[in-house]
Structure 1
Amino acid sequence: MQEPLPVSGRLPTQLKVKYGPVDLLGRFFLWADTAARDRGVTLFFASLKDLIEANRGNSDSWRPLVPAFDEALGGVTPEAAFVLIGRNKDGEVVATQAARIYDWPETSLKDEATSLRMFYADPDAAFARGDRCEITAPIAEKITGRVVFSGGIWYRRDFRGKDLGTILPRISRAYAFTRWNSDFTTGMLGDGVIAGGLAERAGYTKIELGCIKLVASPLGEMRCGLAWMQTDELLADLAAIMDRANVPVIGPRIAEEANH
C-alpha cells in the first residue's frame, strides 16, 4: 500500500527522503525551509481543497487553477498530488505550489495533453464544451514514464520580488522526485511569465516558448510555453544551489531529522 502523502504540518517534520541521495536532498530541504523563513514565509503541506480555496480567495491576482489540480474536474486524488502553502507571520496564505504525478509508460505528454486526459476526469465532456490543447513542441512526444506536472504557482503581490520563485519550485521538484522517483518534471507557463524569467529562476534547464495553446474550463484560453527537466538535471541543479549557498555536508543527526 502506498504511504499517504502529507497534508498538513511544517515542512521539515513531514519530509521523508525515499528516493535519491539522502545527503544532498536532506541539506537542500533544510536550506530551502530556512531560506523561505528568512523571507517571512513559513511553509506547510496542505490539501487540494486548501489550494482551491486560496485560489478563489485571491482571484484579483490569480487566474483559476488548471483543472488537473481540481479533484472534481480533474479526477486528481490526494495520493497523486501534493500542495505547498506559504504563510506570513499573521497566518495569511502568501505563496502556493503544487505537483501531480502521472504514470505514462506507453503514452506521452503530447498524447495525454491533446486528448485532455491530463486535465480532466471526463475529457469527452471537456471537448463538448470547446476545451482543447495543442502542443507543437517535438519533445512532448518523448516525455513519458513517471511525469510530474508542476503548477498552482502563486505569490501574493507583496511577496513578489523576494526570490521565492527560486525556492518553492525546487522544493516541489525535489520532493516529487524523492516521493515518486519521477523521470521528468514539467510545467506549462504563460509566455509572459517565462519572459519575466520565472522559469529560469526556478531552475528549469529546457524551455520552449509559445508551443502550447490551452483552452480549459474554468481557466479560459492561454498561450503557454513548456518547461521540462529530467532527474539528472534536477539533482545537478540542487547540487549547484548547495554549492553556491555554501551549505555544509549534512551530519547524521540532521539527516535523520530531514527524513522525518
Structure 2
Amino acid sequence: MQEPLPRSGRLPAHLKIKYGPVDLLGRFFLWADTAARDLGVTLSFGSLQDLLEANRSNSDSWRPLVPVFDEALGGVTPETAFVLIGRNKHGEVVTTQAGRIFDWPETSLKDEAASLRMFFADPDAAFARGDRCKITTPIAEKINGRVVFSGAVWYRRDFRGKDLASIQSRIGRAYAFTRWNSDFTIGMMADGVIAGGLAERAGYTKIERSCIELVASPLGEMRCGLGWMPSDELLADLATMMGRVAVPVIESRVAEEANH
C-alpha cells in the first residue's frame, strides 16, 4: 500500500520520479513550484477528504465534484488518485486539482463512460437514477490503456486570471505520468470553459468541442468537451516550456530519489 503523501515543505522534495526523463521532469517541477509561489500559491498534496471539504466550502463558485473523485459514489481510493491543494499566504485553500488513474487494456473511454463504470462504483444504481454519459467523438474509442482523468479544477475568484492553469494543470499531468506511466491524460470541460480558452492555457494538445452529454449525480447535467493528450505530447510540451523559462536552482530530492 502506498504511503501517504506529505503535505508540507516544497512540493518537489516530495516527488519521486518513477517513470520518465528525470532531468526534464525534475527541472519542470522545480520551476512550476516556484512559479506558483510567485503568484501567491503554495502547492501541496492533500487527501480526497480535503478535496471534498474544499468543494463543499465553496459551493457558491464550484459545482459538486464529478463522482470520479467521490469515494462513496465513485469508488476512488488514495492508491488510484492524487489531490493537489493550493493555499495563499494565510493558509486558505484557493486552488485545487486532482487526477485518477484508470486501467483500460481491453476497453476504451467510450465504453467506460457510456457504461458509467468510469464514474460510479455502482453503475446500475446510477442508471436507475437517470445518470448517463454519451461521447460522440470517434477518438474516445482509441483512448485506452493507462488513462488519467484530470479534474476537480477550481480557482477561488481572486486567483482567477493569473495563469495558474498553465502551471497547475501541467504539474498534475506530469506527476500522474511519473507515478503511473500513463498513456493518455483526459479532462472533461464545460463548453463555456473551453470557449474561454482554459483548455489551451492548460496545455492540452487535442481538444474535442461539445462532444459529451453528461448527467451525473450530484453534479447534474453538463454539455462538455474533451481535452486529451498522449504521453509523448505531454513530455514534448514540458520540454518546450522548459526551453523558454529560467529554472531556479533549489535544493531538492527529486533527482536523488528518482529511482528509489
Tell me, yes or no, whether TM beats 0.5: yes
Deviation at 1:12, TM superposition (A): 1.8
Q: Are 1:127 and 2:127 an aligned pair?
A: yes
| Residue aligning to 2:168 | 168
Q: Distance in 2 between matches of 1:179 and 1:117?
A: 23
Aligned equivalents of 1:246, 1:95: Cα separation in 2: 24
| Count of residues in Structure 1 that have an aligned counterpart in Structure 2 | 259
In structure 2, the partner of 1:138 is 138
For residue 171 of structure 1, give the secondary structure of its aligned residue in structure 2: helix
Q: Please show how residues 214-253 of structure 1 align to structure 2 within 5 Å.
A: 214-247=214-247
Label 1:86 to 1:183 Cα distance change in 2 as closer, same or farther (>3 A).
Answer: same
Give the conservation status (yes or no) of the 8 Å contact 1:26–1:250.
Answer: no
Report the Cα offset of residue 13 of structure 1. Answer: 2.2
Check whether the contact 2:17–2:255 (CA below 8 A) recurs between aligned residues. no
Q: Distance in 2 between matches of 1:85 and 1:248?
A: 22
Aligned to 1:106: 106
Which amino acid in the other structure matches residue 193 of structure 2? Answer: V
TM-score normalised to the size of structure 1? Answer: 0.95
1:192 corresponds to which letter in structure 2?
G
| Deviation of 1:6 (Å) | 1.6
Tell me which protein shows more helix as a share of its residues: 1
1:62 corresponds to: 62
- With over 3 angstroms needed to count, the CA separation of the structure-2 counterparts of 1:162 and 1:244, relative to structure 1, is same
The Cα offsets for residues 107-165 of structure 1, whole Å up to 9 and x where unpaired, read as 00000001000000000000000000010010000000000000000000000011101
Structure 1 243/214 Cα, relative in aligned 2: closer, same or farther at 3 Å? same
> d(CA) in 1 for partners of 2:114 and 2:25?
34
TM-score normalised to structure 2 length: 0.95
Give the CA deviation at 1:3.
3.4
1:14 corresponds to which residue?
14
Q: What is the Cα deviation at residue 58 of structure 1?
A: 0.2
Q: Does 1:194 align with 2:194?
A: yes
Contact kept? 1:114, 1:133, Cα under 8 Å? yes
- The two structures, once aligned, show a CA RMSD in angstroms of 1.9
Partner SS state of residue 243, structure 2 = helix
Q: Distance in 2 between matches of 1:203 and 1:235?
A: 11
CA distance 1:250–1:157, shift in 2 (3 Å): closer
Residue by residue over 1:11-40, the C-alpha shift from the partner in whole angstroms, topping out at 9 and shown as x without a partner, is: 122111000000000000000000000000
Q: Report sequence identity in percent.
A: 80
Q: Is the 8 A contact 1:209 1:225 kept in 2?
A: yes
Is the deviation greater in 51-60 or in 240-249?
A: 240-249
> Residue by residue, what CA displacement relative to the aligned partner does 1:30-64 show, whole Å, maximum 9, x if unpaired?
00000000000000100000000000000000000
Please give the alpha-carbon distance, in whole angstroms, between the structure 2 residues aligned to 1:251 and 1:131: 49
Aligned counterparts of 1:195 and 1:258: Cα–Cα separation in 2: 39
Look up the equivalent residue of 2:105 and give its one-letter code: P
> SS at 2:82's partner residue?
strand
The CA distance in 2 between the partners of 1:254 and 1:115, in whole Å, is: 39
Q: Is the 8 A contact 2:210 2:223 kept in 1?
A: yes
Residue aligning to 2:154: 154
Runs of 5+ in structure 1 lacking a partner? none
Match of 2:204 in 1: 204
Contact 2:213 / 2:223 at 8 angstroms: preserved in 1? yes
Contact 1:5 1:79 in 2 (8 A): no
Query: Which aligned segments of 4 or more residues in structure 1 are displaced greater than 6 angstroms?
Result: 248-254, 257-260
Q: Secondary structure at the match of 1:94?
A: strand
1:254–1:150 distance in 2 versus 1, CA, 3 Å: closer
Tell me: CA distance 1:118–1:110, structure 2 relative to 1, closer, same or farther (3 Å): same
* Distance of 1:208 and 1:114 partners within structure 2: 17
Unaligned regions of 5+ residues in structure 2, if any? none
Which amino acid in the other structure matches residue 5 of structure 2?
A: P
Q: How far is the alpha carbon of 1:244 from its aligned partner? A: 1.2
Change (3 A) 1:254 1:73: closer
Contact 2:18 2:258 in 1 (8 A): no
Q: Distance in 2 between matches of 1:192 and 1:82?
A: 26
